[in-house]
């Protein structure tokens, strides 16, 4: 029996509609500034999608396209200007940045109240301390949690007490995902590519989150029957069956195998990626409400 497919596009569209309605009911027009340095094709696609979503939500959306040769000082000056701009509630600097720019310094320069990516040390610290009501949470794990809740509802399961295994320990996904699941009373193991007997660790999981960046690394026999599988990976691999030089997107999970074992699973594409953009919109509205002293909506 095939797994329940968690359609990220459907859930993301519903989330964006809720954000737009909440913004209208609060009388807010949140301002989102997205900064892109260089011309990385994948980054351009992501930034374009974020801009379109902001318009759907009725936000005031600005995009700053800076050349690859932009210096760190110039980028920091732009961030300082946006920090002080009352029309801007959220600031996002698209990663990766050119090697000549110190990404940590740039992310730390963003006002933590406007850090809609949730990467500023203040937001990281608040989340690590379990103070989620004051933090801005990174968008990908926040979106993944909504999909996990959707899976639990479909399967008639409760997240409390489940064993969760996260493969990946990045600051962007792995670590905040662990914090969110701990806060929901899961028993959490953070595993990674050097974990001893990783397949055996993965097979313990009622909730398995793959965020390691290795194409189809998680095989079907790594998955506990009936588990919820969240695939965060987006990997482009050769697809000679489509023609010479053609490629296709796959996740970190071997979908065809895992979907025959799991209880619920996210596809790639069409899973977590859509939710990341939806949660960016949610974070922008939350930031705007907090800055203006209003009760922030919950998503």
Q: What would the DSSP string read from start to end of the chain?
A: -PPEE--HHHHHHHHHHHHHHHHHHHT---EEEEEEES--HHHHHHHHHHHHHHHHTT-EEEEEEE-TT--HHHHHHHHHHHHT-TT--EEEEPSSPPTTS-HHHHHHHS-GGGBTTS-SHHHHHHHHTT-TTTS---HHHHHHHHHHHHHHHHHT---TT-EEEEE---TTTHHHHHHHHHHTT-EEEEE-TT-TTHHHHHTT-SEEEE-S--TT-B-GGGSPTT-EEEE---EEEE-GGG-TT-EEEE-SB-HHHHTTT-SEE--SSSSHHHHHHHHHHHHHHHHHHHHTTPPPP--
Give the tokens for residue 198: 């990783």
89, 111, 115, 117: the active-site residue: 117
Verify whether residue 179 is a known catalytic residue.
Answer: no
Strands 187-191 and 60-66, sheet pairing:
unpaired
Verify whether residue 117 is a known catalytic residue.
Answer: yes
Separation of alpha carbons 142 and 283, rounded Å: 10
Verify whether residue 224 is a known catalytic residue.
Answer: no
94, 115, 175, 179: the active-site residue: 94
Active-site residues, by number, are: 50, 94, 117
């Amino acid at each position: 029996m095939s797994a329940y497919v968690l359609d990220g596009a459907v859930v993301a569209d519903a989330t964006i509609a809720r954000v737009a309605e909440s913004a209208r009911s609060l009388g807010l027009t949140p301002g989102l500034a997205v900064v892109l340095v260089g011309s990385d094709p994948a980054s351009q696609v992501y930034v374009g999608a974020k801009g379109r979503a902001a318009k759907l939500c009725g936000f005031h959306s600005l995009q700053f396209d800076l050349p690859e040769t932009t210096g760190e000082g110039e980028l920091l000056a732009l961030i300082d200007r946006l920090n002080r701009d009352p029309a801007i509630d959220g600031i996002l600097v698209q990663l990766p940045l050119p090697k000549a720019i110190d990404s940590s310094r740039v992310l730390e320069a963003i006002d933590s109240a406007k850090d809609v990516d949730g990467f500023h040390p203040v937001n990281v610290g608040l989340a690590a301390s379990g103070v989620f009501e004051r933090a801005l949470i990174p968008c990908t794990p926040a979106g993944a949690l909504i999909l996990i809740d959707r899976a639990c509802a479909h399967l008639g399961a409760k997240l409390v007490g489940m064993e969760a295994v996260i493969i990946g320990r990045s600051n962007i996904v792995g670590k905040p995902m662990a914090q969110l699941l701990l806060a929901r009373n899961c028993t959490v193991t953070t595993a990674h590519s050097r974990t001893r007997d990783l397949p055996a660790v993965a097979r313990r999981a009622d909730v398995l989150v793959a965020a390691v960046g290795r194409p189809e690394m998680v095989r079907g026999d790594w998955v506990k029957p009936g588990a919820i599988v969240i695939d965060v990976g987006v990997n482009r691999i050769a697809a000679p069956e489509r023609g010479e030089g053609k490629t296709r997107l796959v996740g970190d999970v071997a979908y065809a195998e895992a979907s025959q074992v799991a209880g619920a699973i996210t596809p790639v594409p069409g899973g977590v990626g859509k939710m990341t953009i939806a949660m960016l919109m949610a974070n922008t509205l939350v930031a705007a409400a907090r800055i203006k002293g209003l009760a922030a909506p919950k998503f």
